[in-house]
């Protein structure tokens, strides 16, 4: 085989390029102990808050004979009002009108 034959073979079968050519890896900085502690405190706070809201929702469902679907279909303002009043002895009664929830009038 001559040099000319090798050039023709290179044209037919070019050499493979490096698959990582032009790739620059992203260097991720390591978390410090203080950052890890701060992240864990933040996650714990979030979990405690979610747990508290779940407890309030369960209490509301038990006392008012509501289902989880009823709570999900309520507007956020009504649900917030129910949650705020869940800790009080006297609870404002709410009634369903089918589509929306509104406060019962006191007579």
Q: What is the pLDDT of residue 37?
A: 92
CA proximity to 80, closest of 103, 53, 46, 52: 53
Asked if the model's pLDDT at residue 84 lies above 60, the reply is: yes
Q: Which residue has the higher pLDDT, 5 or 104?
A: 5
Q: Tell me the C-alpha distance between 11 and 76, whole Å.
A: 68
How far apart are alpha carbons 47 and 52 in whole angstroms? 9
For the chain, give every domain's residue range. Answer: 40-84
pLDDT in tens, 15-69: 777 777 777 888 888 888 899 999 999 999 888 888 888 888 888 888 888 888 8
CA end-to-end distance (rounded Å), the chain: 108
pLDDT band, very low/low/confident/very high, at 95 (cuts 50, 70, 90): very low
Question: Which of the four pLDDT bands, split at 50, 70 and 90, describes residue 83?
Answer: confident
Q: pTM of the full predicted structure?
A: 0.44
């Amino acid at each position: 085989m001559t040099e000319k034959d090798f050039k023709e073979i290179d044209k037919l079968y070019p050499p493979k390029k490096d698959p990582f050519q032009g790739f620059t890896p992203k260097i991720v900085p390591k978390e410090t102990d203080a950052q890890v502690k701060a992240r864990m405190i933040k996650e714990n706070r979030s979990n405690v808050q979610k747990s508290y809201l779940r407890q309030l929702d369960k209490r509301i469902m038990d006392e008012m004979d509501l289902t989880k679907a009823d709570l999900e279909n309520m507007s956020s303002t009504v649900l917030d009002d129910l949650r705020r009043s869940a800790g009080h002895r006297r609870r404002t009664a709410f009634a369903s009108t089918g589509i929306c929830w509104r406060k019962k009038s006191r007579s």
